Amino acid sequence: MTVIRLSLLAALAFCFAGCASQVRPAKTGDVGGIDRTQQRAMQAELYARDAYENMTPKTVVRFVSNPPGAEVEWYNDDGLWVTVGSTPSREVVIEATGKPELFRISLPGYLPQTRWVAATPSAKGVLVELSLQRELPADRFILSESR
C-alpha cells in the first residue's frame, strides 16, 4: 500500500514538474526575448523626436558684432559651450516657443558677452547686435603687494 502511495506521489510530482516546464508555442513573427516595454519606450522616444523636429515652431537668430569675427557659442542642455559660428553669423536655428537660449560671444582682446535669446512662434527671425569692449592691456593693471 505504501509502495502504491509513493508511486502515485512520484507520478503526480512528475506530472506537475512536466507541466511547469512547458513553454507556450511561438506565434508567427514572434521573437522570443524582446521586452515589449523597452520597445514601447523606444517608439515613444522616436515619436517625441519626430514631434520636436516636425511640429515645434522654430526661428533663426543672426549675430552681428563690432568688430566682426567673434566666436558664437551656445550653452547646451548638458552644460557645455558648443561653437555655432562666428560673427557675422549664419542663421542659427532655435525653438520659437519662448524658451530662452544662452549664447556667448567672445573675441581675443575683448571682453566676452553673454545673451539670453528667446523667440515666440510669430517671430520671423531675431537679430542680435553687439559692440564688444576692449580688455585693458596688461601694462594698465595696477599691481601692488602693499595694502
Residue 5 pLDDT grade (very low, low, confident, very high; cuts 50, 70, 90)? low
Q: Does domain 49-120 have CATH number 3.90.660?
A: no
Residue 8 pLDDT grade (very low, low, confident, very high; cuts 50, 70, 90)? low
Cis status of the peptide bond prior to 88, with omega within 30 of 0? yes
Q: How many degrees, rounded to 5, is the angle at CA 49 between CA 48 and CA 54?
A: 100
- Give the pLDDT score at 65: 86
CA distance 123 to 119: 6
pLDDT in tens, 89-125: 778 887 777 888 889 889 888 888 888 988 888 778 8
pLDDT in tens, 64-96: 888 888 889 888 888 899 888 888 877 888 777
Type of residue found at 65: S
